[in-house]
Amino acid sequence: MRSESELREFFRRELLPELRGYERRRKLALARVWNRATAIVLVTSIVFSFAIGNPLPLVLAVAWFIYRFTQVVTSLQHDLKENLVSRVLRFWNPDLEYVPNGSIGEDEFRASHLYSSTWNRYRGEDLVRGRSGATDFRFCELRVTRKEQKRSEGTVFSGLFFVADFHKSFRGRTFVLPDVAERTFGSLGRALQGLQSVDGADLVTLENVEFEKYFRVYATDPVEARYLLTPSLMERIVRLRKNGASEIRIAFARQKLHLAMPLSHDLFALDPTKSAISEEGMRTWIGELELAIGLVEELDLNTRIWSKGAPPLARTA
């Protein structure tokens, strides 16, 4: 992790020249689109809409502007990530690998069983791979949606999806999910949760009252779930929840931890309609990187409970 003075020096010497070039391209691209759109809309409005009394040409002109503007914004964001974000991440931690168009595979997301809803569209980007301490991890931005009507779609998940090699020997599956039913319906909600299962896992009651207030836990082995969800780890998960990750979901399966954290914004993005010449963007990217990598420390993933190959826990009768 770099110091504050190192970040400022990197911004001044390495990033600022690149940002100035990007800023020139950004202004030129947006000006071209705006000028052409203005001319087309004006001509269309005067010649067609008022002359023949049909608003369709004007609607088509506006639609073209939106389409072209989206193309330009997408191109600018791609340019930004390819040339600038990757340099910031490498500077902050040379051991990180950044793949702007990469993502965690759909099969792995599905296998986490964190979301039971069906979907028919799966998109991901901003894949980061690396190692923190003794823990290998990956994370990316995902948007998983389903088509609901002809032109509308419902969001299944949109946010940060994080996978870490747990380095702990366990055979079962344990899921930590937001507790909405009990918070809403009280004991009735709790009873309804007991009738459900997640990938063959049943509801487990833990001793941490505050944790139980926010989350419900399903596990194939209640004993193993209690070893995984230690009092310390439950406190850390509650702290994450209080710090803004209110809909966080966690799965322990196949020696890995899968974590889904909904976000209201895109990772490593800047607003292409605003100037990029500031340290704010760089600090935003680093802050997002620290958020994801910080999960390793926040959840204490480098602490070993069992080594790989250790005897499995015995099930209770």
Instruction: Please compute the mean of the pLDDT values over residues 288-316 and round it to a whole number.
Output: 64
Residue 73 has pLDDT above 80, yes or no: no
Residue 132 has pLDDT above 90, yes or no: no
**In the prediction, which pLDDT does 104 show?**
97
Question: Considering only 169-178, 211-220, 292-301, which range has the smallest mean pLDDT?
Answer: 292-301
Question: Considering only 68-77, 127-136, 195-204, 307-316, which range has the smallest mean pLDDT?
Answer: 307-316
**In the prediction, which pLDDT does 313 show?**
47
List the domain boundaries for the chain: 4-92, 97-298
What residue type is 83 in one-letter code?
N
Instruction: Please compute the mean of the pLDDT values over residues 76-103 and round it to a whole number.
Output: 81
Query: Averaging pLDDT over each range in 48-57, 118-127, 132-141, 237-246, which range is the top one?
Result: 118-127
The more confident residue out of 262 and 86 is 262
**In the prediction, which pLDDT does 83 show?**
73
Residue 316 has pLDDT above 50, yes or no: no
Residues above pLDDT 70, as percent of the chain: 79
**In the prediction, which pLDDT does 315 show?**
47
**In the prediction, which pLDDT does 52 show?**
59
How confident is the prediction for the chain on average, in pLDDT? 79
